[in-house]
Amino acid sequence: MQIKLKNMTGIASPKVEHFDLHEVFGVACLVDVGEKVTLTLNQIACRSWLKQEHPHIVNIKWFDVNSVIIYYVGIGAAIVSVENWHNIRLYAAYKLFVSNRYILVAHDEESLYSFRSGELKGNIISVFLRDGTFELGIGELMDKDRDSWEFDELEAGYVFDDKFAFIAYASELFWVLDVSKRSWTKFPVPFATVGIEVLTGDDKTAYAIFDHRSLLNAYPNLPPFELAVFDLLSETSAKEDFGPVETALTAAGFEMSEIKFQPSSTGKIIVSDGKKAALLEISGVA
């Protein structure tokens, strides 16, 4: 197994709550100081606004080399750069991913049942063109596939070649959505997927990290973290030893007691501990 940490950056300031790392674009973050929020791209302050102007920000994701997507509680989102602030309507974004052609938005269970008929009713994942035009809701595919009726909300996912690989609670299947063909493929997973925090990979192999720390009081025999590997070609999967990942993180100076895993705009794994962050790359597992 090969473990690499890329784009290492310091995020020591407690004023940084939302940030994203990209292997090419670098680091984007929102810095809170008093009543003001500042968008910073690669340590350069780009623009500022009052908190009350855009409250309840959920997160920030890279959109392209010059701009990010900021999305809020509710239906608000905006593509923001130094020069422009372009509002788009993505509905209630719980998680968000960006490909070369699409913006993929996951809605949480509460939002899913609050959509009015004809709005985005029944879609745990909605796909938009990069200008914010609605393209596809997976409710269209779920109506034709009984296996998907178990979906409550997205657990984790990543984009590749304008496709979206994902795992959804409470389906014990691995899914790959092909937006252009308005179809998906799937294969069974021989273990429970509850607790998967992040999922990353390509068109051949995917890697998932489980974070069980919130479950340890109820299930003390669970390990804090686990690693799973999915072979998309053979449609098989298995759990692997998390030890090499922990060893690499510890050697790089990360505090495992403070570790946090989150997806980047494309689904790469971002690891952080409140002091620094990096992209975690896993490869070479058979």
pLDDT tens-digit profile of 95-143?
999 999 999 999 877 766 665 555 566 688 999 999 999 999 998 899 8
Given pLDDT bands bounded at 50, 70 and 90, which one contains residue 12?
Answer: low
Distances (CA, A) of 89 to 48, 154, 165, 185: 22, 20, 24, 28
What is the mean predicted confidence (pLDDT) over 72-93? 89
Nearby residues of 80 by Cβ (< 8 Å), 6 or more positions away:
39, 47, 67, 68, 69, 70, 86
Given pLDDT bands bounded at 50, 70 and 90, which one contains residue 286?
Answer: low
Dist CA 201 CA 64 (whole Å): 20
Given pLDDT bands bounded at 50, 70 and 90, which one contains residue 35?
Answer: very high
Residue with tokens 């989102």: 77
What is the mean predicted confidence (pLDDT) over 185-209? 96
The residue extents of the domains of the chain are 2-283
One-letter amino acid identity for 71? Y
Looking only at the bridges linking them, the beta strands covering 57-64 and 67-72 are antiparallel
Q: Looking at the structure, give the CATH architecture of the domain made up of residues 2-283.
A: 6 Propeller (2.120)
